[in-house]
Amino acid sequence: MKKNDPAKAKAPRAKGTRKKVPADPAAEKARKIALAAFDKKGYGIVALDVKNLVDYADYFVIVSANTEQQVKAIWSNVEHEMKTAGFEPLNLEGHDHNRWVLVDYRDVMVHILLRPLRDLYDLERLWGDAPPLALDLPEADPIGEDLDF
């Protein structure tokens, strides 16, 4: 068999049609989750890069909500957007009470909490060694950020 057999040669790709692969697929997943939460008025959204701190995830996405109904709405939208993108959760906890929902997307863990629980558990302080991931979300609506419970 010839080394350069034309029958087995691949057709050349048109210029600019190379498939783009994100440099960090987990970071892109975290950003997509953050945007889905933002779309349902989640606030105080942060993503922490924990890949050098734990072996079970690359990022934590933390979102605040004002009511149990809002926690549910945020989770439902995250679930919808992730399914649309082809991702199913490995595990889901807390959705029966909607006070703190924890979703495991393998490389991204999502925490959706009522504000008082977020203040109580202070996950950002707990994971203070984790650098934040830039999310580039639209300008936040300040609703809920100054509420006292």
pLDDT at 141 over 60: no
Q: Are 137 and 63 in contact (CB under 8 A)?
A: no
Q: Are 64 and 44 in contact (CB under 8 A)?
A: yes
Buried b (16+ CB within 10 A) or exposed e, 4-38: eeeeeeeeeeeeeeeeeeeeeebbebbbbbbbbbb
Q: Categorize the per-residue pLDDT at 136 as very low, low, confident or very high, splitting at 50, 70 and 90.
A: confident
**Percent over 90 (pLDDT), the chain:** 74
Query: Between the ranges 1-10, 29-38, 132-141, where is the mean pLDDT highest?
Result: 29-38
Structural domains present in the chain: 25-126 (3.30.460.10)
How many of the other CB atoms lie within 10 Å of CB of 119? 11
Instruction: Collect all residues with Cβ–Cβ distance below 8 Å to 17 and sequence separation of at least 6.
Output: none
Q: What's the confidence (pLDDT) of residue 23?
A: 84
| CA separation for the pair 42, 101 (Å, rounded) | 13
pLDDT at 31 over 90: yes
Consecutive H or E run containing 39: helix 25-39
Which two tokens mark 19? 């498939």
Backbone dihedral angles phi then psi of residue 71, each to the nearest 5 degrees: -55, -45
Amino acid at 97: H
> Across residues 72-100, what is the average pLDDT?
96
Strands 59-65 and 91-93: unpaired
> Across residues 87-101, what is the average pLDDT?
95
Q: Categorize the per-residue pLDDT at 18 as very low, low, confident or very high, splitting at 50, 70 and 90.
A: low
pLDDT at 144 over 60: no
Coil/strand/helix, residue 92: strand
> Across residues 28-37, what is the average pLDDT?
97
Q: Are 56 and 82 in contact (CB under 8 A)?
A: no
Q: Categorize the per-residue pLDDT at 3 as very low, low, confident or very high, splitting at 50, 70 and 90.
A: low
